[in-house]
Chain A
Amino acid sequence: NAGVTQTPKFQVLKTGQSMTLQCAQDMNHEYMSWYRQDPGMGLRLIHYSVGAGITDQGEVPNGYNVSRSTTEDFPLRLLSAAPSQTSVYFCASRGGYEQYFGPGTRLTVT
């Protein structure tokens, strides 16, 4: 039981490049979400999904897209990377009250 996995762990992008952050869970959780964490701040919700085929925006969705074709996978796409998107990104899944977080992806946009 791997829990929540994220790839890559580190990524450096140039401004304007696009990429996909991968997230997968093997706990059969319906609810999954993406957060970003900046220094001195808490977690901010980017997008979330309550099941396959259903996604919605969180607090800070601009510049990001998501899709949920399966229960297990919830990728996050950066459309055109900007320096303001430099952050640590966490994916999480939730079956009941408890959210399980992946190890995070540290993204730097230059």
Chain B
Amino acid sequence: QQPVQSPQAVILREGEDAVINCSSSKALYSVHWYRQKHGEAPVFLMILLKGGEQKGHEKISASFNEKKQQSSLYLTASQLSYSGTYFCGPGGDGNYQLIWGAGTKLIIKP
């Protein structure tokens, strides 16, 4: 079952904040977040693991609520470079494969 991402799209002014949500109907052991710019390949942002561990490249914060099977990505003081489509991919226990959400398109205007 594909996870549900919300909102589907959001338009911000540079400097504004955004929250992107990801909900799964299955038990979550990890959540992966990727960003894809138009015409490019997805790029890893971070992974949140059961128990609270987080690993990522950028200073983007996220939360992972195991009981609610939800994750949220927090983009604060957005920059033009944050524009793109954000995908979440919940991971199961010992499961390499990810079932990806449909994505949230983020547009940042100057």
Chain A interface (Cβ < 8 Å from any Cβ of B): 31, 33, 40-45, 48, 50, 58-59, 90, 94, 97-104
**What is the bound-complex CA distance between A50 and B2, given in angstroms?**
23
B32, B41, B43, B47: residue with the most chain A Cβ atoms closer than 10 Å: B41
Residue of B with least CB distance to A97: B47
- Which residues of B sit under 8 angstroms from A102, Cβ to Cβ? 41
- A-contacting 9-mer, from B10-18, B63-71, B73-81, B95-103: B95-103
Q: Contact between A59 and B99 (Cβ–Cβ < 8 Å)?
A: yes
* B84 CB, nearest partner CB in chain A, Å: 14
- Which residues of A sit under 8 angstroms from B101, Cβ to Cβ? 42
Q: Contact between B42 and A101 (Cβ–Cβ < 8 Å)?
A: yes
Which of A31, A90, A98, A103 lies in contact with B44, CB distance below 8 A? A98
Q: Does B55 contact A (CB under 8 A)?
A: yes
* A61 CB, nearest partner CB in chain B, Å: 12
Q: A41-B102, A42-B101 are known; give 19 further A-B pairs, CB within 8 A.
A: A40-B102, A42-B87, A42-B89, A42-B103, A43-B42, A45-B99, A48-B96, A50-B96, A59-B99, A90-B41, A90-B42, A97-B32, A97-B44, A98-B47, A101-B42, A101-B43, A102-B41, A103-B40, A103-B41
